[in-house]
Amino acid sequence: MLPKFDLYMPTDLAEACRLKGEGAKVVAGGTDVFVNMHGGKDRSDKVVDVKNIPQLQGHSFSPENGLDLGALTTHRDIELWDVIKKHYRAMFEGCSRVGSVQIRTRGTLGGNICNGAPSADSIGPMMVHDAAVVVAGPANERIVPLKDFYLGLKQLDMKEDEILKRILIPAPKAHSGSFYIKYTRRNAMDLALLGVSAYVELDGDILKTVRIALTTAAPTPIRAEKTEALLIGKPASEALLTAAGKTVLTESHPRSSWRSSAEFRLALLEELTVQALQEAIAQAKEA
């Protein structure tokens, strides 16, 4: 039984912002919110369902502008969209491995981003694709790069009366490729014990652009910028990738949990960083 609450289902974005500002809990797919409520962890007495707000709906792609995704875009939408598999492979790998078909059918990108779990499978992939989020308040809106959206454990750069409206992801560049590797103890229905996302742009054999993001490797999803700097401008040799696997350890802080010890996570991180880069490079060569 869910706790008692007042439910609001506005179609107006400003109205939803106002309700959130007054302390109402935003619910999109509810796959985090209702689990917390069933478990007694969330006792919000006001809930605002944002699914009827047009500005949060819909998703489109154009070769010039890239992806414009409503916050309500589901993991299943991403998984079944051919554009994603072709140009944003890391996102396919992440979203298609969230929970189950039922969870992906309901769970939204906006919910995954705003829940902000270190293990969130869509965030790292979107970070390496240089995503930005459009955050709307009652009067105006602003654009925040996704990599700057996390201020600390479950702390977002989002004011009390702001709502995540859309996610913008640049058009795919020539000779680019990406990948995400999610390591789990079992194949289905498990959270990432560790995850690495990589994106590269090649100029011949040279790594022209590199972005790496780490999942479950710190209190928030993070970019590995030191490792990126090490790689950029150099030929993608095996020795260089091995060095990247070592560097990434210096800029991550995995913790021990019942799922895994920090030591095991570090060992995985080194290996998976190399693998994710190799896969992204292979994708870029095919592109």
Partner 1 sequence: MQNITIHTIVNNELYIRTIPVNMTLLQFLREDLHLTGTKEGCDEGECGACTVLVDGHPMNSCLVLAAEMDGKHVLTVEGLAEDGRLHPLQEAFLEVGAVQCGYCTPGMLLSGIAMLNLYPHPTREQIRKEMEGNICRCTGYERIADAILLASERLAGETEAH
Ligand X SMILES: Cc1cc2nc3c(=O)[nH]c(=O)nc-3n(C[C@H](O)[C@H](O)[C@H](O)COP(=O)(O)OP(=O)(O)OC[C@H]3O[C@@H](n4cnc5c(N)ncnc54)[C@H](O)[C@@H]3O)c2cc1C
- Contact residues toward partner 1 (CB under 8 A) are 1-9, 30-31, 34-35, 38-39, 47, 49, 51, 76, 99-103, 105-106, 187-189
Residue position matching structure tokens 């870029």: 284
Partner whose footprint covers residue 262, from partner 1, ligand X, none (CB < 5 to 8 Å by kind): none
The reply to whether 83 sits near ligand X by the rule CB under 6 A is no
Selection from 197, 194, 215 nearest residue 259 by Cα: 194
What DSSP state is assigned to residue 24? P
Tokens linked to 105: 């059918």
- Alpha-carbon distance of 67 to 59, in angstroms, equals 7
Q: Cα–chain-centroid distance for residue 285?
A: 25
Q: Per DSSP, what are the bridge partners of residue 180? A: 197
**Least gap, CB of 134 to ligand X (angstroms):** 10
Contact track, ligand X, 223-262, x by CB under 6 A = ----------------------------------------
Q: Which is nearer to ligand X, 28 or 277 (CB)?
A: 28
Question: Residues of 232-247 as b/e, b for ≥16 C-beta within 10 angstroms?
Answer: eeeebeeeebebbbeb
Q: Which is nearer to partner 1, 100 or 242 (CB)?
A: 100
Please, where are the H alpha helices in 107-204? 109-115, 123-128
**Least gap, CB of 121 to partner 1 (angstroms):** 14
Partner whose footprint covers residue 101, from partner 1, ligand X, none (CB < 5 to 8 Å by kind): partner 1
Q: Which is nearer to ligand X, 126 or 212 (CB)?
A: 126
The reply to whether 47 sits near ligand X by the rule CB under 6 A is no
The reply to whether 114 sits near ligand X by the rule CB under 6 A is yes
Beta-carbon contacts of 286 under 8 Å, excluding residues fewer than 6 positions away, are: 177
Partner whose footprint covers residue 55, from ligand X, partner 1, none (CB < 5 to 8 Å by kind): none
- Amino acid (one-letter) located at 246: K
Q: Which is nearer to partner 1, 7 or 174 (CB)?
A: 7
Selection from 65, 64, 131 nearest residue 94 by Cα: 131
Which residues would be at the binding site for ligand X (CB under 6 A)? 25-33, 35, 50, 56, 71, 98-99, 103, 106-108, 110-112, 114-115, 119-121, 163-164, 191
